[in-house]
Every structure is written in structure tokens, then in C-alpha cells.
Structure 1
Amino acid sequence: MAAKKDPALPDIAVRPPNLPEMWHSTVNWFSIHALQILVAVGVGVVIYLTLATLRQFGSRLNGKPGDTLGLPHVIGRAIARTTHFFMALVAARLVVSYANPPQMVLKTVIFLFTIAAVFQAAIWAREIILGLIERKTVGDEGHGETLANAMGLIRVLVTFGLFAIAAVVVLDNLGVNVTGLVAGLGIGGIAIGLAAQGIFSDLFAALSIIFDKPFRRGEVITYDQTTARVEKIGLKSTRLRAMTGEKKVISNANLLQKEITSLHTLEQRRVTFSLGIIYQTPDEKADTIPSILKHIVEGEGFHFVNAGLVRFGASSLDFELNFDVPDPDRHDYFQSRHRVGLAIWQRFKAEGIEFAYPTQTSFTAAPDGRTIMPYPDADPVDERARRFT
């Protein structure tokens, strides 16, 4: 029993390709348009050689490894990545119409040219994006290992993203319905982002540290109550060495949320000492304390700022000393403060200047308010009587 034909369907006869017929039409095309074909091939070769020359010029513009990476170098590197397949298809697309080819040959050339152009545009875009990123971070010797790891990951993400877009564009040109594919990729990307949001947060924080450069490896920074030297900036966390010797590890995202003070750019760092001496210190010695402190600071090789009496404490005369440590990244700040403090203690001991400590004196009084001794007066004892007692 023969199957009934659906009247809603167009009457299209689906036949397998007739190879003898295709061969015959191609031979006829070559025999009829031989001159046009030869001219088209010649022009196509010239176009290809011209594009190859431009590609070679891009390679020269790219320069040698280690050269300063500027915008011309980025463009040159992108041009140098032009594929031979794309150049051949460009030449074929420009000359194919002149030779009056069969419809099947023309469609094939246009189809291949579309694929080559889309993927070549993705390659150019990838090289330009990566080149601009590398140009942003050029000369950053403090992030060498981190930058290498980050660039590897960035290269994978950029390549995947661009070639995925290129594949969608090619499929769309082929007449494939890509709406569902794009929606699926979007939903999948959102799911992956939500599942790994902590990792991506630290990763983008690491990229922010590399590109924005709030600090570099080897710098001394202060955050919260911690002062430490940056030892390594990783993709997930930053490792620091505290001034007291402990190793600190903090996630990049958490670190960037804090207020960071970098001590690397300081030409000098201010040190403040608070000194308290007893009230019984003679006036002339108290008056010489600022000059003594200046002599100590300058003797240790630091810059004296000022020193003097600042307040009358509960149990001490309070003096304050300010001096600057030059090049704090080379001079250890804490060791410098230790040296000066020890020198002050030794000099004050030699001068007979006593440091104050919390003291309290109690006085006794009679009912009428007069100050009295806390014990009754005693008669003096005769020395001779004491000897015989």
C-alpha cells in the first residue's frame, strides 16, 4: 500500500547527487570559461601574495621577545596570526564571480569564506585582547609567577568565549536555530558562576591586584592590626610575612575589602617615643632632656624632628620624641626603634634621670585637718643606755 503524500508539504524531489553530471558540468565550465578561470587564478594568486606580505609585515611589527610591548606590537601580533586558509579563501571569494562558476561552486566558496572569516576574526580579537592585557602588566616584575598563571587562565577563558561565539555565528549562517543553544550556554554559565562564586571572586581579586597594582610582591603593607611584607600573590590567596615572623595567608577578595596602607613608597617613616620622668627631677636636668634626645637620635644616624614636655601626668612629667627613619624599606623599623630606645635608657641612667612609674603617696591628718605623722613622737634613746640594754 503506497503512503499518502501530505498536501501541506512542498513537492521537492530529493535525489542523490549525480556525480557524472557534476563532472560533466565542471568540464564544460573549464572548457567554456578557461580564459576567465586563468585570469581569476592569476589575480587570486596576486591577492594571496599581497596578504602574505602584509602578514610578514605584521610579524616584523610584532618585534622580538623582550621588546617593549606597545600598541603597534599588539596590532602586529594580531596580523601575524592570519591563517593561510583565510588568505586563500579571501582571494577565492574576490575572484570567483569573475569566472562565472556553477552555482554549487559559488555557494561552496561563499560557505567556506564565511567560516574562515568568522574564525579568523575570533583569532584577531583574541590576540588583541591578550596583547592589551599583557601591555597593561608589562614591566611588573613583582607579579611574574602570578601573572603567568593568570595569563594562562585568561587565555583559556578568552579563547573559549570567542570561539564559542564564532561557532554560534557559523551555525546561524548555516540556518541552524541557535536560540536553544545560546539559552543553554547562558544557563550553564550562570550555574557554574553560582557554584564557584568564591573561587571566581578571589580570581578576579587577584587580577585586580595584578592590573591595578595596589601593592606588589616585596612591599610592606598594613591592614587591620597587621603589618607584613608581601611574599607571594596567588590566584586564590596572598601570602605575607608579619614583622614578628608569622606567615599570614588571606584570600584576595578579603584583602581588597580592607583599608591597605603601603609603606613601600615612604621616603622616611616617623617614630614616636613617649617618655615619663619623675617629678623629683632637677630643673636643669629636665631642661636638657630635648638636647640629649636629639644627640642620641642623630648619633644613631636618624633624622631628629622634635622633642619636649607635652603633659603633666598623674605620676610623671611626660616628654615626647619624634624622629624619622630614612628608607624604611631597607632599614628595619622595629630594629631602629629598639636601638634608639636602648640608647635613651642607657643615657638617662648615666645622667641620673629616673623614669617614672605609677606611685601613690598617702598623708594622715588630725580631726582638724592638720597633717600629722602616722605614728606618735618617741623620745630619743640615750646612746649609753642603748649599749647597756
Structure 2
Amino acid sequence: SLFFGSLVLTLSTVAHQVIQSIVILVLLLQTAFWGNALITFSLEHYKKQRLGKDASEATTVVALGFIGKLLLFSIIILLALENLGIDITALVTGLGIGGIAVALAIQSILSDLFASLSIVLDKPFVLGDFIIIDDYLGTVEHIGLKTTRVRSLSGEQLIFANNDLLKSRIRNYKRMYERRVIFSLGVTYQTPYEKLSAIPGMIQDIIKKQEQIRFDRAHFKSYGNFSLNFEIVYWIQNADYNIYMDIHQTINLEIYRKFAEEGIEFAFPTQTIFIEQDREPPGK
């Protein structure tokens, strides 16, 4: 109404320009509010549809919302400055060293921001995954714009900068479809040949009786300092660590029971010392 009123009234050129500038600024401000509301509504709608399927989408929504609003308000501010008669090109050029300093100051923030986008888009891991990062391990609890938080097995929360996280070697155990188990055992050197040759078959029968198991091999591997060593390999068709431990415990107990029945002794570190007594010289 102010703008249309200025068209009817006879005003000076300066007054007309002031009114026009005010109207344009108000329109730009209203556009910013509408754009902000549109971005928020669109992302919230997307979040409700996708969040139940993949919890890590929440970070994508936050990151996209941040970037979208940053671009929107940057454009609005530049248009407002131009409407006020400020030379945008000269302003940007005049920033000079100050602009470079600001860019360097926010470099780490921006690198972590883009790293978070890389994590949620490429999905090397998602919320709930059990991962190992160098010497640290735990369950992913939160993927943020700057940091990722991991709950360790001992209970404390580990916090990693997203940019540093992508530079690390990550092992994701949640995506392990099968777990390869390899273990060894040793029996005494006094074990008879017949029982020694029967051990691989005994172990194979024990392992094959377990569920979710794929037997690989059992071999007499080597002669140790105090034991005859066997190496056993099998696969558990489940990535859950607790299930692995339950199955492996059952196998160990069954091997112990079977060896006790067959009279096969497990080896343990021993040392045999031979003492040679001095003999009397001949003729005495």
C-alpha cells in the first residue's frame, strides 16, 4: 500500500527512492521467511518419511537444511545490499585479507560439514553399527554435522571429528555376514597315533552338530615345544558377537567332554630334565 500510495502522491525523487527501497527490503525479508519455512517444511516431511527406514537420514536432513538456509540468506543479503546501492563486487574485493582469514578460520568446520555429508550419503556406517576405528571400537550413537559419537564397550563415549574419521581405517562388523573362527589346541606327545589321527574327525562331528555353523577344516598342524598342535577353522553364519561366543563355548565344552571320554590329554607347558649321574672309572 505504501508503494502504490507513492505512485499516486506527488513526492520528491529521493522520497520515492526511499519508499521503493523500503518496499524491496520488506519483500526480500518476507521472501526469506517464506523460503526458510518452505525448506523447513520440506525437510521435516522428508524426515518423517525416511527416518523410520534409516536413522542416519536425520543428519542428511540437518546438513541439507543448513546449506539450503545458508544459501537462501546469503542471496537475500546480497540482493538487499545491492538494493541499498552498495557495490557488491567492490565489497567482496574489499574484504581481501579479512575474507581469507575468515575462510581459513572456518575451513575445519566446512571440512567436517562436508565429511558428514559424505558419511550419510556414502554410508560407510549408520547408527547402531559396531565399528573399529584404529585402536578404538564401539557402537555408533550419533552422526552430527561436525562430530560422530561412538559408545565404547567399556561405557565411555568416544567423539571423532568427521573429517578425521574419514581419514581413518574403519572396520564395520555390523555388515559382516559370516564370522570366520580359527582356534588351536594341543595334546600331549604321549597321545597314541590312533587317537591322534581321530581328533580331526571328532572335532568335525562336534562342530557340524551346531546350528548356524559351516565347518571348514581341522588339521594336525605342527609339533610344538610341549604339544602336538591342531588348528580348527569354521564359519558362523551370524555376525552377532554374543551368538558367536555362545556357539564357541558349546564347541569347547563338547571337545573337552569328548577328549575326557577318549582319554586324550590336553598339553600344558612342561619341561623334562634328564640328569646323568657320573659313572665310576673302569677297573674300580
1:221–1:263 CA contact under 8 A, matched in 2? yes
More strand by share: 2
| 2:239 match | 328
Correspondence for 1:295 among 194, 205, 213: 205
- Please list every run of 5 or more consecutive structure 1 residues that lacks an aligned counterpart in the other structure: 1-18, 26-103, 365-372, 378-389
Pair 1:265 & 2:175 matched: yes
Residues 1:264 and 1:284: Cα distance change in structure 2 (over 3 Å) = same
> Quick check: which has more Rg, 1 or 2?
1
Q: State the distance in 2 between where 1:188 and 1:175 align.
A: 22
1:352-378 per-residue CA deviation (whole Å, 9 max, x = no partner) reads 2222233333445xxxxxxxx43769x
| 1:58 match | none
1:308–1:320 CA contact under 8 A, matched in 2? yes
Of 288-297 and 323-332, the range deviating more from structure 2: 323-332
| 1:341 match | 252
Pair 1:231 & 2:141 matched: yes
Q: State the distance in 1 between where 2:133 and 2:277 align.
A: 56
Residues 1:235 and 1:167: Cα distance change in structure 2 (over 3 Å) = closer
Q: How far apart are 1:199 and its partner, in Å?
A: 4.6
Opposite residue 138 of structure 2, the aligned amino acid is: A
1:117-161 per-residue CA deviation (whole Å, 9 max, x = no partner) reads 999699779968x969x979945522265456x34xx53443233
Correspondence for 1:281 among 191, 197, 200: 191
Residues 1:337 and 1:117: Cα distance change in structure 2 (over 3 Å) = same
Residues 1:375 and 1:123: Cα distance change in structure 2 (over 3 Å) = farther
| 2:159 match | 250
Correspondence for 1:374 among 271, 277, 280: 277
1:253-301 per-residue CA deviation (whole Å, 9 max, x = no partner) reads 3322211122223322111111122221111111111121122223332
Opposite residue 280 of structure 1, the aligned amino acid is: Q
Corresponding residue SS for 1:304: strand
1:11-56 per-residue CA deviation (whole Å, 9 max, x = no partner) reads xxxxxxxx9xx7589xxxxxxxxxxxxxxxxxxxxxxxxxxxxxxx
1:78-98 per-residue CA deviation (whole Å, 9 max, x = no partner) reads xxxxxxxxxxxxxxxxxxxxx
1:331-364 per-residue CA deviation (whole Å, 9 max, x = no partner) reads 5333433332333233323332222233333445
1:122–1:162 CA contact under 8 A, matched in 2? no
2:24–2:83 CA contact under 8 A, matched in 1? no
1:119–1:166 CA contact under 8 A, matched in 2? no
Residues 1:316 and 1:269: Cα distance change in structure 2 (over 3 Å) = same
1:42-78 per-residue CA deviation (whole Å, 9 max, x = no partner) reads xxxxxxxxxxxxxxxxxxxxxxxxxxxxxxxxxxxxx
| 1:59 match | none
1:122–1:163 CA contact under 8 A, matched in 2? no
Q: How far apart are 1:190 and its partner, in Å?
A: 4.3
- Please list every run of 5 or more consecutive structure 2 residues that lacks an aligned counterpart in the other structure: none
Residues 1:156 and 1:297: Cα distance change in structure 2 (over 3 Å) = same
| 1:79 match | none
Residues 1:327 and 1:374: Cα distance change in structure 2 (over 3 Å) = same
Corresponding residue SS for 1:141: coil
| 2:119 match | 209
Which structure has more relative contact order (CA 8 Å, sep 6+)? It is 2
Cα RMSD for the two superposed structures: 4.4
1:142–1:218 CA contact under 8 A, matched in 2? no
Pair 1:141 & 2:54 matched: yes
| 2:128 match | 218
Q: State the distance in 1 between where 2:68 and 2:149 align.
A: 28
2:115–2:166 CA contact under 8 A, matched in 1? yes
| 1:240 match | 150
TM-score by length of 1: 0.54
